Structure 1
Amino acid sequence: MSRSSTLILFFTAIFLQSGAYGLTFMLPRLFSSFGASEKVVGVMLLVTTLATIFTVYFAGHLSDMLGRLRTLGIACFAISGSLYLYGSVSSVGISLVLASVLLGFGWALTYSLAPIVLTRLVSAAERVRFFALLSIFVMAGFGLAPVLASLLEKFGYSIRDAFYVTSAFCLISAFLFLSLDKPIKSHALNPAPEGSSRITWASIVAVLKSRALLPVIMVCLGASVFSGLNNFQTVFADDRGLEYSTFFLVYTMTVIVFRLLLVRFKGGKNPYLTIAILQYLMCASVVLFIVSGGSALLYVVVAILFGLGYGVSYPILVAMAANDAEEHLGPQTLQLFALTYFVGVFGFPLIAGWLIVEIGYTPLLIIVAVLAAVEATMALRRAIVPSRKRF
């Protein structure tokens, strides 16, 4: 198998399993079908967060034993089982908890190990380009999953059917990853055996003392902003009389188009300045959403600005985490990067769900805007004072 064919199949597998995360945006709608509130969504995503944190810590140990591609295959089997359980539950109970645990386990492995696999195939100079491609396929998967759910509902199917369909996609993804084990090893830039990926307390301390600490913290803030605006988008849209699929479709297409342009862009002379500018746009999009009311036109503008701000800055931030990492701590840095991402993306909805139920969603959106401003300012500070060790 050629290197190009290997990469195409790898990105296809990424795309097929990425829809699983996109369906977490549909959980409020799914849960409402059996009388559960946004608080329950937050609690279940907290369960996912705990499973994710535990799994990320041991992801390296598991991949060292089984190999990274085999571990990715196992992860996709777990995600498939999770989605099937979500689609079949009719009340809050152990099946819902198990589904959340399996999702955290599977998504933690795929998200933390996929970039490490990719670094074996590309040089440091190619990282922004190929991390952008990786993020394009991830974004296409979870951005189009809600659109698929909306289309199925319009054709008379239920939201549960979207979970079943995506579960099948994840099974295909699992078999693709398993089939790529030998081809990826044969095309690795460094023919030596894979280095250790396991996280230890010593490696955690070393990463926290390195320049990579900044992107590790920033991704947590950005993930909180992302989940705050996206996980309850169906709630926001229903309240304002808008069509949630419009937001996800416009957002996804914006991200894909601009990340395709980013494939030839290396972040500029000062990548952190680029990140800061984009994230201030992200902040502006949230502020606009707060005041836009039921305007369909402004809803589209919000989606475009958020797609440009968050969607384009993210792959540059991943590349900066890899480049700021100590050479011998690359896998551990990327896994901690994934860990803090999951803390934000699965943990923040617990706060968000509570705020929506108790005091409404406007205070939530204000908090999200503040977090976006803080993250952008952190990037700006690194851009202005790049020589600082960590901040």
Structure 2
Amino acid sequence: MRTSSAFFLLFGTLFMAGGYGATFLISAFFRLQGGSDIDAGQTLGLALIGTLIGVPLVGWFSGRIEASRLSAIAALAMSGGFVLFGCVNVELKVVIRFAALLIGLGWGMFYISAPMALSERITDAERGNWFTRFSAFQMAGICASPILLNVAIEQASTSVQTAFVWVGLLGVVASIMFFSFGWREPRSQQETLLRPWVRKITTIARSSAISPIIMVGLGGCVFSGMMSFQSSILAGTELKAATFYAVHAITVVASRLLLANRLSVIPRRPLLITLLSCLTLGLIALMGVWMHPSFHIAAAILTGLGYGLAYPVIQTWAINESAQENRHAALTWFVVAYFIGIFGFPAIGGWILVELGKFWFISALAVIALMELAVALPGMKKRGELP
């Protein structure tokens, strides 16, 4: 794969990820119109349904339709969802729900088709390096989007609805870039059959690949919780959610780009123990934001290092530890688990935040992070990485 071609995929990913980052404003969208975090959580639950439709579609049809083209279609679906969000208010619940469904459908299709398009064009030895770079661009888009949109809303008096329309237009640009990538780097082997993946879970469950699949679901809960409700966590303080997004993004992108070549050679056991410990400490630091602003910065850095570096490590683990004939299924289940966490947790997290308060909400996130570490250890023991 030519590096010049990869830029189309990477920058398309950057713009597409900006769309997911814009979902962090859905909470503000409802609160500005008299809603609550419970409404935001329920809306993101509709996005989960969309992802659970999109992921299987790609899982089955990627043999017939090239993955980069599926990414382009995904970008258009997400674009349509944000344009709808930008054209209506919360009273039009049916339209809002359909828009959330489209966003989830697009993000779900993209999240499996884009890494699939990349994976089909690189070797096992290159996968860790390229996946780390890919995830760096993805995280840059996820975190930069709410920062820029918040600046536009607060400094330029732009409405949230207008910001969502801008995101929709960016999705069209991403679609063009994915089509361009597929045209410049055609897949060498074309298939005509459907790719089965559902029933292969029994085989995957007997391999060490099941550990990272469970872990990514738990990590998705943590990530969506701390990012989607960041402004609610900071309510009553003078701190800004944009600060957390900025520091978190800089930490993730810089660490992924600087350490891309080293992550694949560091032993997995000490690496994951260190990273998931950083994630847990970062969540605990969020409890101190009401005492001093430095806790907010520390939380952003620690969670950026912990979640940001652990994700590409476990993604590579899930694929490389699977037999060649099961890798497509492993990647599909990996993405399904991720979306159950990303879009499923906010419905529960929003209720915890509203009914029980910030302390118990952050405590729940820290417990989930520790559960993710606990799941990793048995998988390492099977590979002889634990004494």
Where on the TM-score scale, by shorter chain, does this alignment land: which range? over 0.9
Name 2:275's counterpart in structure 1: 278
Taking a change above 3 Å as real, the CA distance of residues 294 and 77 of structure 1, as seen in their structure-2 partners, is farther
Kept in 1, the 8 Å contact 2:252–2:308? The answer is yes
Name 1:211's counterpart in structure 2: 208
Kept in 2, the 8 Å contact 1:197–1:332? The answer is no
Counterpart amino acid of 1:261? Answer: L
Distance 1:342 1:272 in 2: 25
Counterpart amino acid of 1:176? Answer: M
Distance 2:347 2:112 in 1: 22
Shift of 1:164: 1.5
Name 2:181's counterpart in structure 1: 180
Name 2:113's counterpart in structure 1: 113
For 2:370, which of 361, 373, 379 is the aligned residue? 373
Shift of 1:197: 6.7
Kept in 1, the 8 Å contact 2:6–2:181? The answer is no
Kept in 2, the 8 Å contact 1:60–1:196? The answer is no
Shift of 1:193: 2.5
Counterpart amino acid of 1:332? Answer: A
Taking a change above 3 Å as real, the CA distance of residues 193 and 251 of structure 1, as seen in their structure-2 partners, is same
Kept in 1, the 8 Å contact 2:64–2:194? The answer is no
Q: Secondary structure at the match of 2:158?
A: coil
Matched, 1:63 2:44: no
Name 1:50's counterpart in structure 2: 49
Name 1:300's counterpart in structure 2: 297
Taking a change above 3 Å as real, the CA distance of residues 169 and 273 of structure 1, as seen in their structure-2 partners, is same
1:230-269 matches, cutoff 5 A: 230-269=227-266
Q: Secondary structure at the match of 2:62?
A: helix
1:306-385 matches, cutoff 5 A: 306-385=303-382
Counterpart amino acid of 2:347? Answer: L
Shift of 1:246: 0.4
1:2-29 deviation per Cα after TM superposition (whole angstroms, max 9, x unaligned): 8121101110111111111111111110
Shift of 1:80: 0.4
Shift of 1:335: 1.1
Distance 1:272 1:240 in 2: 38
Taking a change above 3 Å as real, the CA distance of residues 195 and 283 of structure 1, as seen in their structure-2 partners, is farther
Distance 2:194 2:269 in 1: 27
Counterpart amino acid of 1:54? Answer: I
Q: Secondary structure at the match of 1:66?
A: coil
Taking a change above 3 Å as real, the CA distance of residues 194 and 148 of structure 1, as seen in their structure-2 partners, is farther
Counterpart amino acid of 1:331? Answer: H
Gaps of 5+ in 2: none
- Give TM-score, length-normalised by structure 2: 0.94
Name 1:76's counterpart in structure 2: 75
Counterpart amino acid of 2:136? Answer: I
Counterpart amino acid of 2:300? Answer: A
The alignment-based identity, stated in percent, is 29
Counterpart amino acid of 2:185? Answer: I
Greater mean deviation of Cα atoms: 71-80 or 285-294: 285-294
Name 1:221's counterpart in structure 2: 218
Matched, 1:30 2:29: yes
Matched, 1:145 2:145: yes
Distance 2:126 2:225 in 1: 32
Distance 1:359 1:138 in 2: 33
Distance 2:169 2:194 in 1: 29
Q: Secondary structure at the match of 2:236?
A: helix
Shift of 1:200: 3.8
Q: Secondary structure at the match of 1:35?
A: coil
Distance 1:21 1:196 in 2: 31
- Give TM-score, length-normalised by structure 1: 0.93
Aligned length: 383
Name 1:96's counterpart in structure 2: 96
Distance 2:243 2:95 in 1: 32
Counterpart amino acid of 2:143? Answer: G
Kept in 1, the 8 Å contact 2:64–2:193? The answer is no
Shift of 1:57: 1.9
Q: Secondary structure at the match of 1:30?
A: helix
Greater mean deviation of Cα atoms: 244-253 or 324-333: 324-333
Name 2:167's counterpart in structure 1: 166
Taking a change above 3 Å as real, the CA distance of residues 260 and 197 of structure 1, as seen in their structure-2 partners, is farther
Question: RMSD across aligned C-alpha pairs, in angstroms?
Answer: 1.8
